[in-house]
Amino acid sequence: MRTLNQNRYTLTICLTLLVGLSTAQAQVYKWVDENGRVHYSETKPESGKAQAIGVKPSAPQAAAQASSTSAVSWQEQERRLRQRQAEEAIDKASKPATTRPQSVSNGREDGTDASKCALARDVLNGSLRHTNGAPIDKNDIDIARSDVRNFCH
């Protein structure tokens, strides 16, 4: 009985290795069509003009270059974000202050569906802020939308 289990285990390992090797040695074909477009495929095209190419795993140096490229891209994105925020701050400062809509709930709810609905609508229409003065964020808006669906009938 023990040898039967060992044989099954050995057979399973051999089959796994064979499948892994067959996919690792797969051919990739490259060809250019009549429109000048380059194509890659694992199957050879019917035209027979394809060239078999080897696929090499990326080298650590290529990964390091990609990493430095993404770091530059990240830094550029950060610079653009800060510039956009500065422009928005200038625009906001140059516009006259607008009055916020009158709050129906006064930032309170007593557990009834109507009060939860009123509070959610106040959040969505911009008439409420957090008690610490922080602005309403995306999470607050998502919750308010859900509350409107659940409590406003």
pTM of model > 0.75:
no
Report the pLDDT value the prediction gives residue 150, as an integer from 0 to 100: 92
Q: pLDDT tens-digit profile of 14-56?
A: 667 665 555 455 677 787 877 878 877 777 777 767 676 765 5
Q: Could you please report the per-residue DSSP string of 18-55?
A: HHHHHHHT--EEEEE-TTS-EEEESS--TT---EEE--
Confidence of residue 4 (pLDDT cuts 50, 70, 90): low
Phi, psi of 86, deg, nearest 5: -65, -40
Report the pLDDT value the prediction gives residue 145, as an integer from 0 to 100: 92
Report the pLDDT value the prediction gives residue 83, as an integer from 0 to 100: 92
| Of 70 and 144, more confident | 144
Q: pLDDT tens-digit profile of 75-122?
A: 888 889 999 999 988 887 777 666 666 777 777 778 888 888 888 888
